[in-house]
Structure 1
């Protein structure tokens, strides 16, 4: 019996498996004997490897061989039945119980690495949702599975996402995986700040001016659009005659909308009117200052102060006018402040104040 690829030596000649040796053995006692020797080969057990033939990139796996051999010699230099390896080709030489050597090789391949580009799509407007776009997907051993924050998803469902951090993971059939942390940012806040409750004197106006901001205001719409005037695209002038609430729709340069309201409450003067200018110059035209109190008010007191806060006029008689003098001296031209207390016919007392200009 010989090992595979080995020879048998007989009388200085070498024979291989399958050869037949014929020889004559002489005897001085009996007849010669003719012998025939057939060279057979030992049965060889094949090496069986136990490992994954495809592994992930840079993965370390256990490569083991059948354990019924007498000795082992790997191409790595190790001499045991199992070794730790990465991808590559490895050769093992073993010796069986008959002393025969057997060689075998195995190639362990890497699964093609999963590659892609993950692009966060931030929301355009504050009320919008974000999304994640996966592009240039390649590699991996099909089929692949995808997860977002641990939940299985499809690539077509990575939308309607709130702002925040997300972990996207792709896993192939060899259990190789790759992951990325992706952040979806909030949309830039679009807001316009103003006083939305206005008490307005009857017959007067109220203006709203909006400074340049980021994002910029592109347009303003007002509903209803009566008694309001839009100037320069970003300035509103309201002149309502009745109590009213306006709805303002602002659109910024991105196309995002912001809806707010402003409410006006009209203060009725009910016949009370304080003059704002008079000219005590002796021409008998507007020479005195005297308010009109109407038919629902009675005068409690009326005072006028100069710019230093000194009282230059006082009366509680509605028929007494101010002629622009103080202590029999003419007051200088300028702006003075009036303070008037009136009693309404319902018994309530109201205070009114404002400016009056004295000119000569």
Structure 2
């Protein structure tokens, strides 16, 4: 059977143009979510067909017409009334076009307190196989954050209205990455949850990476507890001084009721003392902190150690 008799042709939905396959696969491009139809041109003397994608037969694809929406190389085998099969025909290489945008937002790793400026970095990348157009990154700053400005050169395509940052990118080429750095400050001590999203005009097969969430803990004043219960229940198991992260230059000493030192931190205290090896009772602490302005302050108090 002469395979040249059975040449594939294709037409797009809503189009009347027919495109004939050549000796080499003809490249056909469609957008994600759409489809294209392939057909056998000359059906005279043929009784059945078998369509193939990437060299493998497609289940139940035995008609002279096949609608494709999955990327791959499409070919057909024609079978006449006597059961004689042709070779695999010339085919069409179907490419699905899409722009896979991924956004990532991250805050500075250092500890900060209320009123202290810190940075956010927003990056957006096109992992698709075509350029993305009409790209927009939106970052709705929570009420506890105050926008200060952009770090680096000013950008005409960034606007801020009512604490909502809009970053518009007319075109983001496939494989291209762009980064925007912002400076903000927190109003009060609390956990700040900040979400950035990205959209484009092109279809996107992976919407999960179109959103990015950053969680930033804004540290408040130093708070020292007065009881620990190291019983392994995850509550008050260690002597944890809240807010100490903002004061990395510190030392902690703990004394028993006779004034004997039973613990001293080796450098900055790491919130890890649990009274190991000591009896229940009341103990006393001396905490020395170096402030950011270079001044030093000391605080003292008592701790009750309770063991179940």
TM-score relative to the length of structure 1: 0.36
> Bigger relative contact order, structure 1 or 2, given CA contacts below 8 A and separation 6+?
2
TM-score normalised to structure 2 length: 0.41
Larger Rg: 1
